[in-house]
């Protein structure tokens, strides 16, 4: 027998069989069988990071909308410009022509 097999058999002799078996069961339980296994933790961590990105995006959108609302309440020229661009509002005796560019 070579040196490696002797060491292996020495490690798994009758004294260490139970310790090795319980340890192996514990490792398998933690990594595979548990409801909080490694794959589930990875998936939840990935989902959490995506949700944090979405939260940052929506916070920026809320700040942007608050600034627009403040401008619409205080600046009448901006309100008129916004109404003309977004809702195609017009004054009396005024025509609006839409120019639509063909997709390239």
User: pLDDT (tens digit, 9 = 90+) per residue, 16-65?
Assistant: 777 778 888 888 888 888 888 888 999 999 999 999 999 999 999 999 99
Q: Distance between CA atoms of 19 and 77, rounded to whole angstroms? A: 80
Q: Distance between CA atoms of 94 and 76, rounded to whole angstroms? A: 19
What pLDDT score does 46 carry?
97
What pLDDT score does 14 carry?
61
Q: What percent of the chain has pLDDT over 90?
A: 37
The answer to whether 82 touches 72, Cβ cutoff 8 Å, is yes
Residue 2 binned pLDDT confidence (cut-offs 50, 70, 90): confident
pTM: 0.58
Distance, first Cα to last Cα, the chain:
75
């Amino acid at each position: 027998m070579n040196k490696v097999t002797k060491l292996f058999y020495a490690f798994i002799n009758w004294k260490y069989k139970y310790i090795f078996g319980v340890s192996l069961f514990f490792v398998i339980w933690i990594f595979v069988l548990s409801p909080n296994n490694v794959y589930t933790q990875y998936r939840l961590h990935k989902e959490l990071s995506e949700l944090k990105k979405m939260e940052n995006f929506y916070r920026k959108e809320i700040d942007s909308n608050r600034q627009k609302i403040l401008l619409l309440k205080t600046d009448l020229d901006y309100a008129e410009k916004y109404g003309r661009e977004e809702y195609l509002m017009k004054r009396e005796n005024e025509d609006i022509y839409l120019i639509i560019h063909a997709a390239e």
